[in-house]
Amino acid sequence: MSATPVDVDGSAPLLPCEPSLEALEHALETILTDATPATKDSLRRLASYRTGLPFAQLDFPKNKLAAVLVLLHLNPLGELSVTLTTRSSRLRSHPGETALPGGRWEEGDGEGGVWTAYREAHEEIGLPLPSRESVFHAESSSSSPLPPPPASHLLHLTTLPPFTSRTLLVVLPVVALLVKPAATAASTYLPRVLRPNPDEVAAVFHLPLQAFLLRASSPPAVPAPASSSPSSDARRRTRSSTAPRSAPPPPPPPGTESLSHSFADFTWLLERPYRLHSFSSAVPGVTPSAVTGLTADIVVRCAMVAESGRLGLEEGEGGEGEEEDGKWEGLREPGFEREAEGQLGWEETVRVALGLEGRQGLGGRVGAGAGA
Residues 6+ apart with CB under 8 A from 126: 193, 194, 195, 196, 197
In a domain, 320, yes or no: no
Q: Is residue 249 part of a domain?
A: no
Q: Work out how many domains the chain is built from and give that number.
A: 1
Residue 222 lies in a domain: yes
Q: Is residue 324 part of a domain?
A: no
- The 10 Å Cβ neighbour count of residue 223 is 11
| pLDDT number for residue 369 | 29
Q: Is residue 322 part of a domain?
A: no
- At a CB cut-off of 8 Å and minimum separation 6, what does 188 contact? none
Mean pLDDT of each 10-residue bin along the chain, 372 residues long: 41 70 92 96 94 56 91 98 95 90 91 92 95 71 47 88 90 96 95 95 97 69 40 48 63 92 94 95 93 96 91 49 43 86 89 64 29 29
Q: What confidence score (pLDDT) does residue 112 get?
A: 85
Q: What CATH number should be reported for the domain holding residue 78?
A: 3.90.79.10
Q: Is residue 173 included in any domain, yes or no?
A: yes
**CB neighbour class for 94 (10 Å; exposed up to 12, middle 13-18, buried from 19):** middle
- Report how many helices (DSSP H) and strands (DSSP E) the chain contains, helices first: 6, 15
pTM over 0.95: no
Cβ–Cβ < 8 Å for 186, 178: no
Question: 119 with 109: CB under 8 angstroms?
Answer: yes
Asked whether residue 231 is assigned to any structural domain, the reply reads: yes
Domain that holds residue 142: 14-241+256-315+336-364
Question: Is position 79 within any domain?
Answer: yes
pLDDT number for residue 240: 45
